[in-house]
Chains A and B, each alone.
Chain A
Amino acid sequence: MNIELAQVSRWYGNVVAVNDVTMTIGPGVTGLLGPNGAGKSTLLHMMAGFLAPSGGTVTMDGTRVWKNHHIYRDIGLVPEREGVYGFLTGWQFVLSAAKLHGLANPIEAARKALATVEMEEPKDRRVETYSKGMRQRVKVAAALVHDPPVLLLDEPFNGMDPRQRMHLMDLIRAMGTAGKTILFSSHILEEVERVAQHIEVLVAGRHAASGNFREIRRLMTDRPHLFRIRSSDDRKLAAALMLDDSTGGVTLGPDGLEVRAVEFRRFAWLLPRVARDQDIHLHQVSPADEDLESVFAYLITRST
């Protein structure tokens, strides 16, 4: 199944949370990547029918999502907020989901869903006694109980330990391979890279980039990089680097050089050679803007 967003916007008063986003989410695993506050949850809520778009349309295989409770036959939803009744046991929670879906054999469906997330053993404990990761898995089980063709997960790996994270990643990949349409949001590039075949990048409410992880990686590596370099002769190194086109600019400061590399690959190749030829010792080479925020900042200037 496909989820189609056509020029979707959402604003709260004067604040624009999602700005003119058009995308189609098809079968397989799609990662919705963006920093915190980019509008990922807002976008997911609109896809899940929990929020009306202020403009544009959200449809699932041509059917409007907003104010249409029939779509939940085909959607499994794992919300970011806890949203689990603490007074129910894990079993009761998942079973209630199966019954609310009106499944023919709710007990069998609940048992299977709990097995899928490896929660059979603690299933008879109250949810309030669970760790965050266990709650997360019970939520996933409840979302999977009716074997939906579409699965929406909002920051699903938050609060999970590495083993649980690996397990859920395997599960998501397997379901994606089986032809389900899966969308999950995350602010961590590595998470998205490891699970998603396709990545949609959302920055400040705007659809900043789209592609497979190689394309997104390339976008992110091909941007101008900023390096901090300390060497035995900063001034000489600066002059030598400036001779090559891969260097966009150099600032000479008391703590060394700040070099803006416009061509990352060439610069990475060039720097050690220049140092060797000029007989300069490199003491430190460190990226000054490797954090995701600056990557996003670049993508957003690129998309405007």
Chain B
Amino acid sequence: MNTVVAGITYRALLGRRRIFLLLLLPLALIGLAVMLRLFGGDDPRSAVLLMEKFAIGTMLPLLGLIAGTGVIAPEIDDGTIIHLISKPISRPVIATTKFLVAASLLAVFAAVPTYFSAWLLVANEEGLAVGFAVGSLFAGIAYAAVFLLLGIVTRHAVTIGIIYALLWETLVGGFVQGAQKFSIQQWAESIADSISDSPFLQTQVTLGFAVPALVIVTVVAVYWSGRRLRAFSLTGDE
């Protein structure tokens, strides 16, 4: 962890207009929760639906994409990354710092609003709010790592990330039985399910698979990010 790298990265992501990108979806989530509450949908069933479909299903991967790629891809694009990598700091340290920044942003902009909106609907009933918040936190950490790696290995990180987040996670991960095992979203729900005792929440993936899978994906992605950054090549204009 390097505090100077972290400071610059936070400023790049939170400065001025960029912060709205991070705020948009959480505000939408809270707005939906408020509306459900106003129109009498504040029951556990609606809460689970909102969490599954929007908080974990849509908001989390998209925020993961914005934060995970956002901590490094724009710098690689405009060449400012040279400022960091031309210093006597090991590249894995830079990658790890970037990962921690992205993960902390996801905790603030995804896990906290997830907790808050679930709490708006069902308070602490059936452990739903805590369950989804913890699930969202761990899945957010994994997303931060995966999208960071994506931002380093390809210049088309956002496009590939959107395809992954929407196609794989929502369609394939949601409907194809075998593929569900390999979906960060499903792992998040598995954690939520293990904490909550809501009958409306049912997951296909066991906790025994989800937790090691999350850990492995995160560790491998961060490690690989460091390795890739170490061999990072600047392609000149020539």
B is a partner of A: yes
A residues neighboring B (CB under 8 Å): 12, 17, 36-42, 45, 48, 50-52, 67, 69-73, 75, 77, 79-85, 87-88, 93, 96-97, 99-102, 142
> Is B89 touching A42 in the complex (CB atoms < 8 A)?
no
> Is B234 touching A88 in the complex (CB atoms < 8 A)?
no
B88 in the interface, Cβ–Cβ < 8 Å? yes
Min Cβ gap A198→B in Å is 23
Min Cβ gap B129→A in Å is 36
- Which of B20-28, B77-85, B168-176 lies at the interface? B77-85
The 3 tightest CB contacts between A and B, nearest first, are A41-B236, A81-B79, A83-B79
> Is B233 touching A100 in the complex (CB atoms < 8 A)?
no
Min Cβ gap B37→A in Å is 38
> Is A72 touching B87 in the complex (CB atoms < 8 A)?
yes
> Is B11 touching A70 in the complex (CB atoms < 8 A)?
no
Q: How far is the CA of A62 from the CA of B89 in the complex (A)?
A: 21
Q: How far is the CA of A38 from the CA of B238 in the complex (A)?
A: 8
Given A72-B88, A87-B12, also A97-B83 (CB < 8 A): yes
> Is A101 touching B87 in the complex (CB atoms < 8 A)?
yes
* 12 A–B contacts from the bound complex (CB under 8 Å): A41-B237, A45-B233, A50-B85, A51-B233, A70-B88, A77-B82, A79-B86, A82-B79, A87-B16, A100-B5, A100-B83, A101-B88
Most buried by B among A42, A48, A50, A75: A50
Given A45-B236, A100-B2, also A85-B80 (CB < 8 A): yes
Nearest A residue to B5 via CB reads: A100
**Given A79-B86, A83-B78, A96-B7, 4 new contacts (CB under 8 A):** A17-B236, A41-B236, A41-B237, A93-B83
> Is B89 touching A100 in the complex (CB atoms < 8 A)?
yes
Residues from chain B with a CB closer than 8 A to the CB of A38 are: 238
B232 in the interface, Cβ–Cβ < 8 Å? yes
B202 in the interface, Cβ–Cβ < 8 Å? no
Most buried by A among B11, B15, B79, B83: B83
Min Cβ gap B76→A in Å is 11
Q: How far is the CA of A80 from the CA of B85 in the complex (A)?
A: 15
Given A96-B8, A100-B5, also A42-B236 (CB < 8 A): yes
B230 in the interface, Cβ–Cβ < 8 Å? yes
**Pick from B8, B87, B238: contact of A85, CB under 8 Å:** B8
Residues from chain B with a CB closer than 8 A to the CB of A82 are: 78-80
> Is B230 touching A142 in the complex (CB atoms < 8 A)?
no
B91 in the interface, Cβ–Cβ < 8 Å? yes
Given A69-B90, A79-B79, also A17-B238 (CB < 8 A): yes
Q: How far is the CA of A36 from the CA of B237 in the complex (A)?
A: 10
Min Cβ gap A173→B in Å is 24
Residues from chain A with a CB closer than 8 A to the CB of B232 are: 50
Given A45-B236, A83-B78, also A100-B4 (CB < 8 A): yes
Given A83-B78, A100-B2, also A69-B91 (CB < 8 A): yes
Q: How far is the CA of A85 from the CA of B79 in the complex (A)?
A: 9
B38 in the interface, Cβ–Cβ < 8 Å? no
Given A41-B236, A41-B238, also A100-B87 (CB < 8 A): yes
Given A42-B238, A97-B87, also A83-B15 (CB < 8 A): no
